[in-house]
DNA sequence: ACTGGCACTCGCCGTCGGAGAGTGCCAGAG
DNA sequence: CTCTGGCACTCTCCGACGGCGAGTGCCAGT
């Protein structure tokens, strides 16, 4: 028996099943693809593949369906990432170029990804902890409040209102605010956020004892904005695509939707790939996802970022029965464009 | 025949159907509710209600189901808004009070609404056009770029990067930026955004001809941020609740999810109630919704805002077969709390 | 190692018939 | 005029039955 043909059979099964969403049998298989052999031979191969746990028969007398392991082998060894046509590339670029805003970039990206792949798309906002400080601004609001505005090199802007226990309307206070602002910038500008945060720890000491509380409050806000919980934001689109193949994961839509609402879960999915090299596209299939609601789902994801540093992840989520080559191509292409866009 | 009893029957039908999601027949009706009469009498009433188009029999020999008109009558005349228990009020307040941010307020609000009502919740960000300017800040970024930051009295912050056709690193430019900033504030602070926008139209003339282009660019950004399309933002949660009653609108989940993704559609839903008085809760039922994908859905919405001015809408969306009294109570209570929260 | 053939297994689907829920209508009582 | 009990009727739902077809596993033969 030829190892090679057996894998070709697996590949064909995956492809056909993805197309038709119906278990594929030996006969229809030899019709569509021309291996040089008969259906009976293919049947033998299929029996072996089943023994290896790569495919599975839902019922004694039905066609075969790939298992998670089967898909895994397929994406690892049997599929080539489909190249995008120049027209597609142009469409992607054109659509993203119109963005006026980081919010806008993220918004367009997630919609684009959803419509390219017909799956649920997920885009993570650039992580602050992996960005550098471009600017920090203090804006007095009313008499006892200050708005702290953090601007990252990725264009991400985070703002927070802080109450400070003193009035700000005299001359001296104005000078103080602007001194704090200046010191913040000297210390933080151009550095990574975590680094800035540590360097700033000694900042209060440079001011009069009476003023230190205010400075500390501001620094606390900055740290708070960097905390895991608050700093990670995630956006999604295309959830209606889940309903499109209602028959597919039959009543499993609910748990998937629930998982998607739990942003924490999503972040874990992307967290796994962590600081992976920018080029790579990661795929987690079915039960490889920790969350049990996602047992029937696969995630195709990658990272994007300005320069060679990745600052966040993006990807798509769909049924395990998913067109992996296309999804991987789209995810990779979009990530590349977004990275370019954040470059300058 | 007593008009009064007929309406009581309609009320009972709506209540039972909402509870069981099964067509309700005369027999089970007299069992659960005790009208003083027999099932036969109720049947006569039901026949009349059907003639009036308030209820409808899916099959010749099945129970009755309320029509859109039936629900309409129910919410208008037959239901009292369920008061919230003190414990619930406290829970709402406690959950919302922890917010650090407008984003956070909106986020918590939408999740809270979803979990209170078990429906899809929708919250609109405070409209800029209906807010007043609290502050405008100009932050130089790099050499030929400026970030314009708009802060509204609602806490909403909008930022936009503008390219200006001149370098900013000399002394004079710094003075110019700060002069522009000062003038902007004098003219705009405390006024409504549209008013500010018109008042600022003459601003360029106060500067040297060479500087006017920059000022114009900044003003254009401000106007752009106010444009319908960009200014309205909407957030939703609880979409998994749609799947919970999969049997309910059977395969109608897809169009609903699609409609929810089209934020434009959502904004229209809230646009209808427009500048309605803050107290009122609006309900649109089934086909009353313009969008055809939402023919099986109802929307319970209201407005919130600081002071007596409404600045945006919020609400829930679910199947027409929905617990209106509870939904209305939750929506009203949440809107009230959010309004309070935006007050100071 | 591959092929053709064959018996066998099951899920799918349409049919059928009984049970149950609900209805409409009618004649009689208050 | 309103309400009630009764009765015949209509449909849907559900489980049983059976034929069809796709697909399988295995075996004997090349």
CA atoms within 13 A on the CB side of B210: 5
Domain with CATH 3.30.450.40 in chain A: 86-127+232-342
β-strand pairing of B297-304 with B282-285: antiparallel
- The pLDDT of B242-257, averaged and rounded, is 68
Task: Judge whether B162 and B146 are in contact, CB under 8 Å.
Answer: yes
- The pLDDT of A287-311, averaged and rounded, is 87
Q: Using CA atoms, how far apart are residues A321 and A314, in angstroms rounded to an integer? A: 20
**pTM attached to this predicted model:** 0.89
Query: Which residue reads 């000694």 in tokens?
Result: A202
Domain with CATH 1.10.10.10 in chain A: 2-65
Count of all residues that appear for chain A in the document: 344
Question: How far A160 CA lies from chain B's nearest CA (Å)?
Answer: 6
Tokens of B258: 């699609």
A56 CA → C10 C1’, Å:
16
Alpha-carbon separation of residue A43 from A27, A29, A65, A190 (angstroms): 9, 10, 14, 63
Contacts of B294 (CB under 8 A, 6+ apart): B255, B256, B259, B265, B317
The one-character DSSP state at B36 is S
The string of pLDDT tens digits covering residues B64-93 is 999 999 999 999 998 888 888 999 999 999
Contacts of B152 (CB under 8 A, 6+ apart): B126, B128, B131, B132, B133, B134, B158, B193
Which of residues B111 and A267 earns the better pLDDT score?
B111
- For B111, the enclosing helix (H) or strand (E) is helix B102-117
Is the model's pLDDT at B223 over the cut of 60? yes
The string of pLDDT tens digits covering residues B4-47 is 899 999 999 999 999 998 999 999 899 889 888 989 999 999 99
B199 CA → D14 C1’, Å:
74
Q: Which CATH fold would you assign to the domain A2-65?
A: Arc Repressor Mutant, subunit A (1.10.10)
Is the shortest CB-to-strand distance from B35 to strand D under 7 Å?
no
Please tell me the predicted confidence (pLDDT) of residue B168: 63
Tokens of B144: 């030929």
Q: Taking an 8 Å Cβ-Cβ cutoff, which residues of chain B contact chain A?
A: 100-101, 134-135, 137, 139, 141, 147, 149, 151, 155, 157, 159-161, 224, 230, 237-240, 242-244, 246, 251, 253-254, 257-258, 260-261
Q: Using CA atoms, how far apart are residues A222 and A193, in angstroms rounded to an integer? A: 9
Give the closest residue to A14 by CA, choosing from A77, A60, A61: A77
CA atoms within 13 A on the CB side of B47: 7
Question: How far B273 CA lies from chain A's nearest CA (Å)?
Answer: 27
Q: Which CATH architecture has domain A130-227?
A: 2-Layer Sandwich (3.30)
Is the model's pLDDT at A276 over the cut of 50? no
Shortest CB distance from A139 goes to which of B100, B137, B147? B137
Please tell me the predicted confidence (pLDDT) of residue B332: 93
Minimum CA–C1' distance nucleotide for A55: D24
Q: Using CA atoms, how far apart are residues A231 and B281, in angstroms rounded to an integer? A: 35
- The pLDDT of B209-233, averaged and rounded, is 85
Shortest CB distance from A151 goes to which of B139, B237, B240? B139
Please tell me the predicted confidence (pLDDT) of residue A11: 95
Which of A119-128, A236-245, A264-273, B27-36 comes out lowest in average pLDDT?
A264-273
- Partners of B239 on chain A (C-beta within 8 Å) are 239, 257, 260-261
Is the shortest CB-to-strand distance from B21 to strand D under 7 Å?
no
Task: Judge whether B98 and B108 are in contact, CB under 8 Å.
Answer: yes
CATH value of B86-127+232-342 in 3.40.1160.10, 3.40.50.970, 3.30.450.40, 3.20.20.80: 3.30.450.40
Taking the CA atoms of B193, B199, B201 and B205 in sequence, report the sign of the dihedral they define.
Answer: negative
Predicted confidence band of residue B191 (pLDDT cuts 50, 70, 90): very high
Question: How far A16 CA lies from chain B's nearest CA (Å)?
Answer: 25
- The pLDDT of B108-134, averaged and rounded, is 94
Domain with CATH 3.30.390.60 in chain B: 130-227
Minimum CA–C1' distance nucleotide for A35: C2
- The pLDDT of A32-36, averaged and rounded, is 88
Minimum CA–C1' distance nucleotide for A38: C3
Q: Which residue of A has its CA nearest to B114?
A: A261
Minimum CA–C1' distance nucleotide for B44: C24
A301 CA → D8 C1’, Å:
66
Please tell me the predicted confidence (pLDDT) of residue B134: 92
Please tell me the predicted confidence (pLDDT) of residue B62: 86
Q: Using CA atoms, how far apart are residues B80 and A287, in angstroms rounded to an integer? A: 48
Tell which strand C nucleotides have any atom below 7 Å from a protein Cβ.
1-5, 8-11, 20-26
Is the model's pLDDT at B246 over the cut of 70? no
- The pLDDT of B227-245, averaged and rounded, is 82
Q: Do A139 and B141 touch (CB under 8 A)?
A: no
Query: Strands, E, within chain B: which ranges?
Result: 55-56, 65-66, 120-124, 133-141, 145-152, 157-163, 234-237, 282-285, 297-304, 312-319
Shortest CB distance from B151 goes to which of A135, A147, A240? A147
Predicted confidence band of residue A109 (pLDDT cuts 50, 70, 90): very high
B66 CA → C17 C1’, Å:
33
B34 CA → C14 C1’, Å:
45
């Amino acid at each position: 028996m030829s190892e090679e043909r057996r894998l070709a059979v697996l590949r064909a099964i995956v492809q056909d099943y993805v197309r038709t969403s119906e278990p594929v049998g030996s006969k229809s298989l030899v019709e569509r693809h021309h291996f040089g052999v008969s259906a009976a031979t293919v049947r033998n191969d299929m029996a072996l593949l089943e023994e290896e746990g790569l495919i599975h028969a839902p019922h004694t007398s039905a066609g075969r369906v790939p298992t998670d392991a089967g898909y895994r082998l397929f994406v690892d060894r049997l599929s080539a990432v489909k190249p995008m046509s120049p027209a597609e590339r142009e469409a992607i670029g054109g659509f993203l170029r119109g963005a006026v805003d980081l919010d806008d970039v993220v918004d367009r990206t997630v919609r684009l990804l959803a419509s390219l792949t017909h799956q649920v798309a997920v885009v993570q906002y650039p992580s602050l902890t992996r960005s550098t400080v471009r600017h920090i601004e203090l804006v007095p609001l009313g008499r006892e409040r200050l708005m702290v505005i953090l601007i990252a090199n990725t264009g991400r802007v985070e703002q927070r209102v802080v109450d400070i226990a003193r009035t700000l309307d005299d001359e001296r206070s104005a000078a103080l605010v602007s001194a704090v602002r200046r010191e913040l910038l000297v210390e933080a500008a151009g550095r990574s956020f975590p680094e800035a945060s540590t360097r700033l720890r000694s900042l209060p000491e440079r001011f009069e004892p009476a003023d230190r509380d205010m400075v500390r409050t501001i620094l606390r806000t900055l740290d708070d904005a960097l905390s895991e919980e608050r700093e990670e934001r995630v956006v999604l689109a295309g959830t209606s695509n889940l309903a499109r193949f209602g028959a597919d994961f039959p009543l499993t839509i609910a748990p998937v939707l629930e998982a998607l609402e739990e942003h924490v879960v999503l972040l874990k999915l992307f967290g796994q790939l962590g600081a992976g090299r920018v080029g790579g596209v990661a795929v987690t299939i079915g039960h490889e996802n920790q969350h049990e609601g996602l047992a029937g789902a696969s995630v195709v994801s990658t990272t994007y970022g300005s320069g060679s540093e990745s600052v966040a992840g993006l990807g798509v989520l769909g049924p395990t029965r998913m067109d992996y080559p296309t999804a991987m191509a789209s995810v990779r292409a979009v990530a590349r464009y977004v990275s370019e866009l954040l470059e300058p």
